[in-house]
Amino acid sequence: MNRQRFNSLRIIIGLLLLVSGLQVPAYSQGRFTSYFDSDSFWRSIKVLDEDALIAADADTLVALVSNRVLDYEDLKFAKEVSEPSGQLHYFLAFVKEGKWSIKACKDLSSLLERLDKGKSLVVYTEGYGKNFPAGLFRAFAMRAQYGVNVLYLDYPSINSTKQRLGNWRFVLKEANKAGVDFVPVLDSLYHYPLREYHFPKITLFYHSMGNLALKNMLKNDFSAAFSQRKWVDNLVLNAACVPAKGYTQWLEQAHFARNILIHYNPEDRTLKGAQLISGNRKIGVQPGEKVLDKVLYLNFNRFVGDGHSYFLDLPYREKMAQPVADYMQRVLNGAAINVQDTLVFRPLDGESKYELVE
């Protein structure tokens, strides 16, 4: 990404935050979720009905599917619990001049019809600690930075009534449930004429505890209905907060993916904390010696230190290293990764593990 493009990205993200004036200390002190949970921020979000028109010149637009309970009589209409039945809600979300709007839609096809033709599609699942606006902000940021269409799968990953350990248990349950609830979305994508609708590449991107949804789906064979052919270009397990023990047994069931990429960081501070709580090693820290032949393992430690969310440029954090930004640009646009390119990759221990070259 050149400097001009990076500066444009900063301007766009600045517009995303403009509506309520997020200050540097609020973000840098880890108050990301509490900021987006403020009454003033929720009040600024405009909720449109299905018949409303979307601004044709919106700065940023993403598609969103949520399994949250909704209550439009409440200011914070997207609740911190999921629908017991697994019911899904479909939205288009967009930003215009710093103002957020969301529009309810009837189904997935009505979302896909409004996305940019000719641009790749990323189906994005987040991890711990995202209320509805906080997760949506990251979806907007991914769209702005990489120029891809984003279909964000939203589930409750924090509950303000619980403390840290209670939230950990809460998200374990909700992330696993999301693996079941969002199966209809992936099944619909499998049957949808994606290439005919000009989405040239498809990437499934799971971050942190969001990978529990992937694990539950594969381990329990919920993906069988959409695994008859390879229709996903890249399946990405980014900083996976999932036990490394036995992971190859369920991951090898991802028959729908042409390429599988595991992003890990042995010094990931967030995942090391998760290991202390859970008592087991996480894939995103060290996948282990046993590897799958069809999987590419990429160690990001050289460029990200003890970082965890190293796939996005986020405000008031250190700018992504250029090799990382360039790599993510290719992966999220569905490009096949050639590890034989010695200008980009360097082999580490074993045949499947690599790191990026400066």
pLDDT of residue 288: 87
- At residue 10, what are phi and psi to the nearest 5 degrees? -60, -40
- pLDDT 10s digits, 271-323: 999 999 999 999 999 998 888 888 999 999 999 999 999 999 988 788 999 99
| Average pLDDT for the chain | 90
3-state secondary structure the chain: CCHHHHHHHHHHHHHHHHCCCCCHHHHHCCCHHHHHCCHHHHHHCEEECCCCCCCCCCCEEEEEEECEEECCCCCCCEEEEECCCCCCEEEEEEEECCEEEEEEECCHHHHHCCCCCCCCEEEEECCCCCCHHHHHHHHHHHHHHHCCEEEEEECCCCCCCCCHHHHHHHHHHHHHHHHHHCHHHHHHHHHCCCCCCCCCCEEEEEEHHHHHHHHHHHHCCCCHHHCCCCCEEEEEEECCCCECCCHHHHHCCCCCEEEEEEEECCCCHHHHHHHHHHCCCECCCCCCCCCCCCEEEEECHHHHCCCCCCCCCCCCCCCCCHHHHHHHHHHHCCCCCCCCCCCCEEECCCCCEEEECC
pTM across the whole model: 0.91
Considering the segment(s) 3-356 as one domain, its CATH architecture is: 3-Layer(aba) Sandwich (3.40)
Looking at beta carbons, which pairs linking 250-254 to residues 24 or more positions away fall under 8 Å? 250/215, 250/218, 250/219, 251/218, 251/292, 251/295, 252/292, 252/294, 253/218, 253/219, 253/221, 253/223, 253/227, 254/218, 254/223, 254/227
Whether the pLDDT of residue 19 is over 60: the answer is no
Query: Domain locations in the chain?
Result: 3-356
- Is residue 16 very low, low, confident or very high in pLDDT (cuts 50, 70, 90)? low
d(CA 175, CA 213): 5
Instruction: Please state, for a pLDDT cut of 70, what percent of the chain lies above it.
Output: 89
Distance, in Å, from the CA atom of 327 to the CA atom of 233, rounded to the nearest integer, reads 15
State the pLDDT at residue 45. 95
Q: Which amino acid is at 96?
A: K
pLDDT by residue (tens digit) across 93-142?
999 888 999 999 999 999 999 999 999 999 999 999 999 999 999 999 99
Considering only residues 58 and 166, tell me which one the structure prediction assigns the higher pLDDT: 166
Local confidence band at 35 (pLDDT 50, 70, 90 cut-offs)? confident
In angstroms, what CA-CA distances link 323 with 135, 234, 238, 304?
A: 25, 19, 16, 11
